[in-house]
Structures are given as C-alpha cells and as structure tokens.
Amino acid sequence: MSEDISQPQEPASVKLLKPHHHFIHLILTLAFYVFMANILRNHALVQDETSATAMMMGFFAAIPLGGTFWLAVVMFHVVLADHMRRKKNASTA
C-alpha cells in the first residue's frame, strides 16, 4: 500500500503537438530538402553539374536525408514539448 495516488494518472495518449506544429515541421523539412538537393547536385557523378541529370540525382539523393531530418525535427519537438509540460506541472504542484 505504498502507492502514490496523490498525482492524477495521465491518459495513455497525450497530444503534445498542435496541428500548426506539423506545418512548421513540413516547411523546415522542405527547406532542408531543397538545400541538400542543391548541395548533392554538385556531387553527382556526371560531367556537367548544371545538367538535368545532375539535378535529378541530387533530388533523389536528398529524399532519405529529408525524411531523416523530418523524423529528427518531430522527435525533438515532442521531447521538448513533453519536457516543458512536465517542468510547468512540477512548478505549479
């Protein structure tokens, strides 16, 4: 009977991010994707770096980087939101 029942139990699924946060993540990811596509275009294995083939290779090579960046941004934002929520709850209790 040493259970601490003074704190109310939180529901299993607490939404930490609002819908507008997903638009911010999308904008950041698209900006990063375009940036990396331009960087990778210069490293394509073609003779002319300004050709459509080099551009296409850069765009395709940036897809996994953009996906990884999106996942990292969302995970960072969720952890930050949870940390701030717990910090606020601890200061009010």
Q: Which helix (H) or strand (E) holds 50?
A: none
**Does residue 2 lie in a domain region?**
no
pLDDT(33) > 90: yes
**Does residue 5 lie in a domain region?**
no
- The reported pTM is 0.76
Cβ neighbours around 63 below 10 Å, total? 12
**Does residue 80 lie in a domain region?**
yes
**Does residue 7 lie in a domain region?**
no
Q: Containing domain of residue 45, as a range?
A: 19-92
**Does residue 49 lie in a domain region?**
yes
Q: What is the pLDDT of residue 16?
A: 82
**Nearest Cα residue to 16 out of 25, 7, 8:** 25
**Does residue 10 lie in a domain region?**
no
**Does residue 35 lie in a domain region?**
yes
**Does residue 72 lie in a domain region?**
yes
How many domains are there within the chain? 1
Q: What is the pLDDT of residue 54?
A: 87
pLDDT 10s digits, 3-32: 555 555 666 567 888 888 899 999 999 999
DSSP letters, 5-47, are -SSPPPPS----S-HHHHHHHHHHHHHHHHHHHHHHHTTSSSS
Q: What is the pLDDT of residue 19?
A: 85
Q: What is the pLDDT of residue 17?
A: 84
